[in-house]
A and B are shown apart, each in its own frame.
Chain A
């Protein structure tokens, strides 16, 4: 009897130790990068970044001068806006939910469908789209040029080029590349602070990387593979399928940093809460819509869902660390 108990303890010990060590190994995959690599073509400078921030918050980049980038990419909502689909210049919902602009320096495909390959390229889209900001870049450059301060600042940030279409985009892109979600309890845990997150959250993490298959797509420190997947959202939006015909119904995997701040969810904002999202994945998505093979019904309990939610909440940064710049008025 005793031998049996001792054996049981030993066996369970043997089982627990690799589990802990594997969890630690898994944690390593989520360690944050310390540097942001800037592309050769768009070198970093704090002046450009500062200028980009001004532009990002400047509504004069829209045709009617009534919207700034931050209107839909509001830092207070995890750089999104809390509506299912963003409201454009026409005061009408757009086609998709506004995605976050955090942690995009490494992304080589932008928009839900990945139609832009750089941030510079991407920036053109919202500024010029008639439903969105409804401006032209010439209009924007001219408008900015009339503001002496912007002239001077552009000359500082881009001493060779000054205020041009490219430098406007470059400044915006440089600023956005510097945007990193803030340090979260999860990061502390990854660094080894066991008390940083709750036991529920740790279990949630186990489920996240294991049974719930979340980490198949939400990988790395930013919890995204910057790739495209079909997850069975009942929608007739072709998504990536509009660019690559084989990828019907696929959308770009969003990072999960600050995810609790970013409701509603999915490309169309169709799921109001994280629980809805998790319930959706447990069901394995909608049957009549495109789904990756990995999207299958999951054997997870309500408790599991709670745990995963607890884990997801640990991704919310302690400090959003965003302050607003003073914009030049003329």
Chain B
């Protein structure tokens, strides 16, 4: 049954009013009725009592008359006596019959009958005594008195009984009225109780429903959008409210979700789902404002993926995205709950680590992160490796500027990357100093490149057996205006890391070509000049054409230029465009040499595949070979490998005659190093060649 709230509230009130009114009316009716009853009963009682009194008077008159006669003080004629007696007796008889007519209670009626009988006996005896009946046995005066007394008593008894009856009956009426009122009252109480109970139930249902609605609203307020509104709210106003609440909840839920989404979008990176820079900054700001509430230090990791650009270039953006997701997941998996990982740029991430106990702790985590990111990824059936470098800075009392902290981490990262890939580095004052030095060096380098301060030095490569010149390796030198001559170790990686590699390579190629041209013009037979190329330059598909053009303009040919590439270039897969460039250079007749052979993990099969013209044994194998048997054995193996593959072999960094002799003994006659000559300025080469020629013409000192 569905009752509207209005009915549920107003209904009981109306019903209670009706019950109250009905009860009042009933009680009033009973009161009036009882009053009327009492009045009429009182009237009848009075009438009866008056009759009895009249009967008493009539009886007394009759008796007095009889008494007068029987005192024998006067002689009354029988006729008069009879007449007067009968008059009085008639009055008495009338009263008695009137009493008999109006008597109500049977008990009283019996009393009246008794009195009538007594009076009759008395009358009979009195009539004898009065001479109205012929009888010789005359009742004594005493007997008459007794009989009169009996009748009198009976009448008095009637009077008393009637009186007490009237009182009793009016009392009974009152009692009945009282009990009726009691009954009504208790009925009313019962009705009130019963209805009240039902109304309470109704009210309870009502308040219960309201309570549920209220709780639902409270839940909504607390963000639980399942209002839990049941079907029972169907028809009444509360049902409407409940449905309203439900709709409200649903709308609010949708809005909240949208809001969450907007917030998420604002604060998160779309691709990886990680926090974005803004979220990071907010997080850091919060940390700074809460500073001191964290037990340990807060570490900020600046993570940069190694080789990401290569993979992106090689496999496209979709693959890059895949790498980013992989890296994100790796970091997310390895962070703690309280830590935050944010993506702040293409392949740059920041991890905020809470409560880092020590640098060692941070280092451990950084290592774990690097390892996780470095896990090989399978992309389109290929296995790709990226690495990561991490710069670490701490958030401490001294440092509360977010920008500076991030910059510090960035500097540390820079240092880490500078130290080689897959490393981490902590920010320190030294870091900053080095970074700033590097940056100022970079600025100077940019200027220097424009001013031609970068020049090539040439280190001769000779055949140890014949002491014949094989060629020169062009090595970059920076003629720094204030610091003097700087070697490549001091600026090369700086240049390559900062996009100056192409420009540097360009300078080196032009220097090498112009130097060779010059030497040839001056009649010096220089077979070739080697120039180093980084993988990035090799990936430029226009490299071959550019070299061809430069050689052609100088009147030279590709065989005059050897391309030195790092062994690691060949380590990559077939998709690397550098491989195509190498193959093209090879086809055009350029000599390809592997630099730093033995350190870059080039596969033997790739040596065959690219038909590399020569390898350069790294100086780590060469230095000290004359005194280390194990090193000697490795070197022997490498040399044997080259010989067997018919690849020419040149040892770098040969500094002593002993080393030269040992290499020679092992079968590697081509050497480069101080034992032969230091790198020479372009203008010194002519003198050196001339001197060498002169020495060769002299008999060999034994």
Question: CB within 8 Å of B: which residues of A?
Answer: 32-40, 43-47, 49-54, 153, 156-157, 175, 178, 180, 182-183, 321, 323-326
Contacts and interface: CB of A to CB of B under 8 A. Distances in A.
5 contacts: A34-B142, A43-B134, A45-B78, A156-B76, A180-B140
Given A38-B136, A46-B81, A53 B73 contact: yes
Interface stretch (B6-14, B43-51, B64-72): B64-72
Contacts of B69: 46, 50
**Which has the most chain A C-beta neighbours within 10 Å: B69, B74, B143?**
B74
Contacts of A178: 72, 138, 141
Contact of B75 (A39, A47, A180): A47
Given A34-B143, A35-B143, A45-B78, A50 B72 contact: yes
B131 A53 contact: no
Please give me the 7 A-B residue pairs with the lowest Cβ-Cβ distance, nearest first. Answer: A35-B137, A325-B73, A50-B72, A53-B72, A34-B143, A153-B75, A45-B131
Contacts of B77: 47, 156
Contacts of A156: 75-78
A156 B77 CA distance: 6
B139 interface: yes
Given A36-B137, A46-B81, A51-B75, 16 more contacts: A32-B140, A32-B142, A33-B140, A35-B138, A36-B140, A44-B135, A46-B131, A47-B77, A50-B72, A50-B76, A52-B72, A156-B75, A180-B142, A323-B71, A323-B73, A324-B73
Given A180-B142, A182-B142, A46 B136 contact: no
A56 B668 CA distance: 208
A37 B73 contact: no
A29 to B, nearest CB: 18
A285 B73 CA distance: 43
B130 interface: yes
Nearest to B73: A325
Contacts of A153: 75
**Which has the most chain B C-beta neighbours within 10 Å: A43, A50, A182?**
A50
B129 interface: yes
A37 B128 CA distance: 12
Contacts of A183: 142, 145
A35 B135 CA distance: 10
Nearest to A57: B73
B125 to A, nearest CB: 8
Interface residues of B, number: 25
Contacts of A33: 140
B129 A326 contact: no
A325 B140 contact: no
A182 B145 CA distance: 11
A37 B137 contact: yes
A183 B146 CA distance: 10
B73 A50 contact: yes
Contacts of B81: 46-47
B130 A46 contact: yes
Contact of A175 (B72, B130, B131, B136): B72
A52 B81 CA distance: 18
Contacts of A40: 136
Contacts of A36: 137-140
B138 A38 contact: yes
B128 to A, nearest CB: 8
A153 to B, nearest CB: 4
A323 B69 CA distance: 12
A321 B70 CA distance: 11
Contact of B129 (A46, A52, A157): A46
Contacts of B72: 46, 49-50, 52-53, 175, 178, 325
B686 to A, nearest CB: 179
A44 to B, nearest CB: 5
B138 A47 contact: no
Contacts of A326: 73-74
A44 B72 CA distance: 12
Contacts of B135: 44
Interface string B539-573: 00000000000000000000000000000000000
A33 B145 CA distance: 14
A44 B131 contact: yes
A323 B145 CA distance: 16
Contacts of B140: 32-36, 180
A294 to B, nearest CB: 31
Nearest to A33: B140
A250 B634 CA distance: 201
A54 B69 CA distance: 13
